[in-house]
Amino acid sequence: METSKRILITGAAGFLGSHLCDFYTDKGYHVIAMDNLITGHLDNITHLSELDNFEFVNHDVSEHISIEGDLDYILHFASPASPIDYLKIPIQTLKVGSLGIHNCLGLAKAKGARVLIASTSEVYGDPDVHPQHEEYFGNVNPVGPRGVYDEAKRFQEAMTMAYHTFHGLETRIVRIFNTYGPRMRLNDGRVLPAFIGQALRGEDLTVFGDGSQTRSFCYVDDLIEGIYRLLMSGYHMPVNIGNPSEITISQFAEEIMELTGTDQKVVYRDLPVNDPKQRQPDIKLAKELLDWIPKIDREEGLKRTYAYFKTLTDEQLRETEHHNFENYIKR
């Protein structure tokens, strides 16, 4: 499909950003992929480098963004999204959600572009409403260890809405729930890659807390389709995109051991501070507004994800650190 539309994707070398690059290049958009590689990896997008409608720009969106020529859309997906990362680089996490979105919105205003921002279910914090709907204001600790990520995303939503109401900018806000699939980092601290990595290495599976906390996992292809539909809609308020199929962490550990054919035991550790005890999206709005529902069930999605992780080398499987952040930290 050919189109003259040009789209800027920030965080393009990350998990979700790289899948967005695939999606939009395949649709014929000219994709400008921007990433400073603080948590992203070029391996995620090198397969696109020979395409005429793809270009990569190594840039930190917390600094002024300059793009030559027309621009139709901006997808702001730049942010550390792993608890391991945003505890190590808390200030950078706050800056990309504040200065980064300000720069993206300023660019959009200058270019007359539509902006879609990647918000998160973490804006709901440790919710006391279940499932979580878009009208719920959340239960977030702004000074807890997770606050740098949660509040960066909440500020990002507020800034985006301010540009919409004050400047009339076309904006979209997607609240993304737990998503998984190929190109997830094995060592990013989230439960799905952690379990698969431990199973592949022959280690016991580590459950934090008593395992009764719940998560809902959405396969990445479903999420990308939902994002596309939201971008093309006329709706400017937040929309949940996620899979409402809920499972406890203990049940999930059992599923992973069955999938991988391993017989390790599950070991239990203390629950991290402010870790949400339940997470499930109410997707009624996405169904009604976007005619969107997730189509890939957890069994199929896990098979695809496991197949990807099995292609990793033994060295990659045993990496404990993703990045040395020293070059990005100002003392």
The first and second tokens of residue 199, run together, are: 């199973």
What span, in angstroms and rounded, lies between the C-alpha atoms of 81 and 119?
11
174 within 8 A of 228, measured Cβ to Cβ? no
**Inter-axis angle of helices 298-309 and 249-260, nearest 10:** 60
The residues spanned by each domain of the chain are 6-185+218-243+277-296
Give 28-64 pLDDT, tens digit per residue: 999 999 999 999 999 999 999 999 999 999 999 999 9
**pLDDT at position 1:** 60
Mean confidence (pLDDT) of the chain: 93
pLDDT digits (tens, 9 = 90+) for 99-123: 999 999 999 999 999 999 999 999 9
24 noted as active-site residue: no
List % helix, strand, coil for the chain (3-state, nearest 5). 40, 20, 40
The residue from 149, 163, 180, 228 that is catalytic is 149
pTM for the full predicted model: 0.95
- Helices 298-309 and 191-200 sit at what angle, rounded to 10 degrees? 50
Say whether pLDDT at 2 is over 70. Answer: no
Tens-place pLDDT, residues 202-259 = 999 999 889 999 999 999 999 999 999 999 999 999 999 999 999 999 999 999 999 9
Pick among 3.40.50.261, 3.30.450.20, 3.40.50.720, 3.30.460.10: CATH of 6-185+218-243+277-296: 3.40.50.720
Cα distances from 32 to residues 42, 133, 155, 221, 286, in angstroms, run 14, 33, 25, 21, 28
